[in-house]
A and B are shown apart, each in its own frame.
Chain A
């Protein structure tokens, strides 16, 4: 196991623990926006797609890159937008 993988594993484990700690306090009322908001956060995959673009050189690779970018961007943009719309409804009460 390389030191790099070791460091990545550490970050992964600690992040899981932080996730458990932060999420377990959310009330049931907000579970849908929370899930939708978490869904938007995994749209960070778009950054992975961008980094992948550095090593793609074939026509098939470009196509695959385009599809992946489409998926990732739809996830991140749509996820945040729909969560914001939902939460706006929670606030707009008289």
Chain B
């Protein structure tokens, strides 16, 4: 090993250390940004030293230089512009998009490497399969989150049989693509993987997207590690494995938060609306409506208010309005906190990001375990566009949300629900909470309702 090679390897090792340290610092809000920047610095150094490797080697053709430079500059610019412009509510779909291109790049590496006659057989095929599935799967997931693909589970007729056939076909082609210069079979493997990604993601409902994004993120990490095996590149193996592990853990945490197995989520079909209907628990049918003025007065004179934000809040982009209302209440001496379910929003922790964007005080954000003991002592629970995660039916067996950890909103002294209609959540079942005599419904768009509530608090509770 030449002195140059040794130096390069040591720098790569330092970069890998920076990635690990960066991830480690992300375990607390105070150090997280420093951690991310440390990781980014490691990445910049790794790219710089790789440029040095390319220059030292001297084997780059003019075409390769042009392809690499044009692609990287355009891609970097596109990524930066998207990152700057994205609204925080639309961030999950952007992250999914970045995940798609990462997986795509990993798959292209194996294809490109095979085209040059290299021999990495098993890892190469794995790279193409995982990368291909991630690419098309993440694109569909991103489309579902953005509303370009319907969020409901789309069951493709014969999809399961087709998937099984594709798996067998991909395996067969991968054997054909074994050691040697066979590029075409490997391209066939890529084609199978792309279709598989679509078939696997379409039947999964929108409510399960947090888990799916996390799972696909883990897959991309693994694909990148496989690309590292193909090229014999240690930084790719280390970084890919780290991300694979991170994604796997987050996937497990998310699935646990919904009391569902990862396998059941991947099998799809959840929320198709054909589950057993749930009848209201008590004998009080009918729903009580409340005006914004009455609700505002109730909030203004409460001692303790817990706000439960859900997807409806994110969809209406009403995070600034909810924080303004909370602030007005706090100024009146009301004890305000937010109860945040782990799967509120469209990504794990997405709701925390939205509230942070609107400058909600960090100490007011409470997670599920912290919030639930507080509900019995709460005067008003204000539910904003959260449905399934507040459904008391989850405590009983035999329905679509059974066993899912929920926020015990029904234990508060009174409940105000802001919702556009009595429509179902992703689980596709009635929410018994809405029929509770202590619950009042404020039917409106979250943004408009919260603005009206703030005006009412200021006008009537002065």
B418 interface hit (Cβ, 8 Å): no
Q: Are B71 and A52 in contact (CB under 8 A)?
A: no
Contacts of A43 in B (CB 8 A): 43, 98, 102
Name B359's closest neighbour in chain A (CB-CB). Answer: A93
B253 interface hit (Cβ, 8 Å): yes
Q: Are B22 and A66 in contact (CB under 8 A)?
A: no
Q: How far is B224's CA from A34's CA once the two chains are assembled, in angstroms?
A: 18
B2 interface hit (Cβ, 8 Å): no
Q: Are A51 and B98 in contact (CB under 8 A)?
A: no
B40 interface hit (Cβ, 8 Å): yes
1/0 contact trace for B30-44 toward A, CB 8 Å?
101101110110010
Name A37's closest neighbour in chain B (CB-CB). Answer: B36
Q: Which of B37, B75, B244, B253 has the most CB atoms of chain A within a 10 A radius of its CB? A: B75
1/0 contact trace for B224-268 toward A, CB 8 Å?
110111111111111111111111111001000000000000000
Q: Are B225 and A12 in contact (CB under 8 A)?
A: yes
Set B67, B79, B359: member contacting A73, Cβ < 8 A? B79
Report B226 CB to chain A, min CB distance, Å. Answer: 9
Q: How far is B116's CA from A39's CA once the two chains are assembled, in angstroms?
A: 28
- The segment out of B84-92, B153-161, B270-278 that lies at the interface is B84-92
Q: How far is B253's CA from A94's CA once the two chains are assembled, in angstroms?
A: 31
Name B69's closest neighbour in chain A (CB-CB). Answer: A69
Q: How far is B99's CA from A13's CA once the two chains are assembled, in angstroms?
A: 22
Q: Are B109 and A52 in contact (CB under 8 A)?
A: yes
The SS class assigned to the A binding surface is helix
Q: Are B72 and A40 in contact (CB under 8 A)?
A: no
Tell whether A41 pairs with B242 under 8 Å between CB atoms, given A70-B74, A88-B33. yes
Q: How far is B19's CA from A24's CA once the two chains are assembled, in angstroms?
A: 16
Contacts of A79 in B (CB 8 A): 79, 83, 95, 98, 102
Report B145 CB to chain A, min CB distance, Å. Answer: 13
- The segment out of B55-63, B403-411, B435-443 that lies at the interface is B55-63
Contacts of B112 in A (CB 8 A): 52, 56, 61, 64-65, 68
Q: Are A32 and B243 in contact (CB under 8 A)?
A: no
B29 interface hit (Cβ, 8 Å): yes
Name B35's closest neighbour in chain A (CB-CB). Answer: A37
Q: How far is B230's CA from A84's CA once the two chains are assembled, in angstroms?
A: 31
Q: How many residues of A contact B (CB 8 A)?
A: 85
Q: Are B108 and A67 in contact (CB under 8 A)?
A: yes
B374 interface hit (Cβ, 8 Å): no
Contacts of B95 in A (CB 8 A): 32, 35-36, 39, 79, 82
Q: How far is B29's CA from A88's CA once the two chains are assembled, in angstroms?
A: 10
Report B156 CB to chain A, min CB distance, Å. Answer: 27
Report B289 CB to chain A, min CB distance, Å. Answer: 34
Contacts of A75 in B (CB 8 A): 75, 79, 98-99, 101-102, 105
Q: How far is B362's CA from A80's CA once the two chains are assembled, in angstroms?
A: 23
Q: Are B63 and A59 in contact (CB under 8 A)?
A: yes
Task: Enumerate A54-91 residues with CB–CB distance to B below 8 Å.
Answer: 54-91
Q: Are B228 and A48 in contact (CB under 8 A)?
A: yes
1/0 contact trace for A15-53 toward B, CB 8 Å?
111111011111111111111111111111111111111
Contacts of B35 in A (CB 8 A): 37
Tell whether A72 pairs with B72 under 8 Å between CB atoms, given A32-B348, A86-B353. yes
Name A91's closest neighbour in chain B (CB-CB). Answer: B33
Contacts of A94 in B (CB 8 A): 359, 361
Give B residues with C-beta under 8 Å from A.
Answer: 19-20, 22-24, 26-30, 32-33, 35-37, 39-40, 43, 46-47, 50-51, 53-54, 57, 59-61, 63-80, 82-84, 86, 88, 91-92, 94-95, 98-99, 101-102, 104-106, 108-109, 111-113, 115-116, 118, 213-214, 217, 220-221, 224-225, 227-250, 253, 340, 342, 347-350, 352-353, 356-357, 359-362, 365, 367
Top 9 nearest A-B pairs by Cβ distance? A19-B245, A78-B79, A69-B71, A73-B75, A31-B349, A15-B241, A81-B83, A70-B75, A31-B348
A-B contact pairs, 13 of them (CB 8 A): A19-B242, A19-B246, A20-B249, A29-B367, A30-B27, A40-B36, A52-B109, A55-B116, A66-B67, A72-B72, A82-B98, A83-B36, A90-B353
